[in-house]
């Protein structure tokens, strides 16, 4: 079996638990003789091997690399998120990797930087998609559902606007969902 895993960041670009969890998963699959390939965003393009896992680091076309968000002026961020909602500029790179690797399944995690176009491309190539929900990226541009010092009880109008494509695509192109408590298989 061949699993291709998408996550916004991967070793050595570690920010939080998602990167560590995805690395543990990818390396665990390799230990079980399951080919594991990771695709991650980066500030430059290259391919490397990390503990037996082939990793594609790709520079996704947007105003800046997501790991550089804190250094960016506030006026750029809404435009970055608008592009990230459905980044057609990444399509050729992602499709090229999927065709080269020929995975049996796509496992998406954090998609910031790639956008949900990954799901559509996978379906165009008849590849099943399993998505792990790790944060609120699909509902909120900041991925936190936290504003003005408190948790959001529901999506605001801006979040609904930014997440429209994500909602539409998750209903059409995702075959199964893994959340903190449950696995939902739709295929």
Instruction: Name the most confidently modeled range: 44-53, 56-65, 75-84.
Output: 44-53
CATH number, domain containing residue 8: 3.40.50.2000
Pairing of strands 105-108, 129-132: parallel
Least confident range of 5-9, 49-53, 177-181: 177-181
pLDDT confidence tier of residue 147, bands split at 50, 70 and 90:
confident
When pLDDT is averaged across residues 77-89 and rounded to a whole number, the result is 87
140 phi and psi, to 5 degrees? -145, 130
d(CA 187, CA 185): 6
Task: Tally Cβ neighbours within 10 Å of residue 76.
Answer: 13
Overall number of domains in the chain: 1
Contact between 110 and 9 under an 8 Å Cβ cutoff? The reply is yes
Cα separation, 30 vs 144, whole angstroms? 32
Give the range of the structural domain holding residue 28, as residue numbers without chain letter.
2-185
């Amino acid at each position: 079996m061949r699993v291709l895993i998408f996550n916004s960041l991967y070793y050595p670009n570690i920010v939080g638990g998602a990167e560590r969890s995805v690395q543990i998963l990818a390396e665990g699959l390799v230990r079980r003789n399951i080919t594991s390939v990771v695709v991650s965003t980066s500030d430059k393009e290259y391919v490397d091997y990390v503990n037996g896992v082939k990793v594609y680091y790709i520079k996704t076309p947007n105003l800046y690399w997501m790991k550089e968000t804190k250094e960016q002026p506030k006026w750029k961020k809404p435009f970055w998120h608008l592009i990230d909602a459905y980044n057609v500029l990444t399509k050729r790179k992602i499709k090229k990797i999927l065709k080269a690797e020929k995975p049996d399944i796509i496992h998406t995690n954090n998609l910031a930087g790639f956008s949900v176009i990954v799901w559509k491309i996978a379906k165009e190539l008849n590849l099943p998609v399993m998505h792990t929900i790790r944060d609120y990226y699909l509902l909120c541009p900041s991925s936190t559902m936290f504003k003005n010092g408190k948790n959001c009880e529901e999506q605001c109008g801006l979040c609904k606007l930014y997440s429209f494509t994500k909602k539409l695509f998750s209903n059409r192109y995702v075959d199964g969902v893994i959340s903190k408590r449950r696995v939902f298989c739709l295929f």
